[in-house]
Structures are given as C-alpha cells and as structure tokens.
Amino acid sequence: MSTNTKTVKIPTRSRFKYIPKNEDEQQHINVLEGILKDKRSGDWKLVGEMVGISSASAEKAFFRVFQKHHFDVVDALKEVIEKRKELLIK
C-alpha cells in the first residue's frame, strides 16, 4: 500500500431540491445548509411540537423550500439551536 495515494474530493449534493433563481435565494439555501450543520438528533421532534406538526412533516417542510410550513420550521429550528447554545454556555 502506498501512502502517496491521491484522492479526489467529490462535492456532496445538496439535500435541497430547490434550484435558486437569484442571489437572494442562493443565500437562503446557504443559510439553510449552515443551520443543518448545527442540528442535533431530536431537533425535528422539538420543532414539530413548536410548529404543531409531526417531526417527519417538520423535516420535509425544512427541505421543501418556500412551501407551506417552511419558514415556520426554519425559525423554530433556529430557536432550538440558539437555546441549546445558550444552555451549553451556562
């Protein structure tokens, strides 16, 4: 086995099926991907309870950009992540 093996990093596909049409929409997708990096196990359940939908529906609404509960779920997930960070600081 050679230690000089060269590898190619393949970019991961976005989980968002929405194709941005302008710069603002691309920025929104980037914000969503950043939020997704901070999400932890169990967050969808909390978000679902906050919005009044199931955890599976909350996850689907997050990935379905500009759909019915999308912005409610995004705001709730941001709040859950912020609260967690505040509790970790204390």
Q: Cα-Cα-Cα-Cα dihedral of 20, 39, 13, 22, to 10°?
A: 10
Q: Does pLDDT of 20 surpass 80?
A: no
Angle at alpha carbon of residue 41, lines to 55 and 13, rounded to 5°: 85
CA 88, chain centre distance (Å): 20
* Per-residue confidence (pLDDT) for residue 23, from 0 to 100: 87
CB 75 within 8 A of CB 50: no
Q: What is the pTM of this model?
A: 0.75
Of 64, 63, 62, 60, give the one whose Cα is nearest residue 80. 62
Instruction: Tell me what the pLDDT averaged over the chain comes to.
Output: 84
Q: Does pLDDT of 13 surpass 70?
A: no
**Residue 39: strand, helix, or coil:** coil
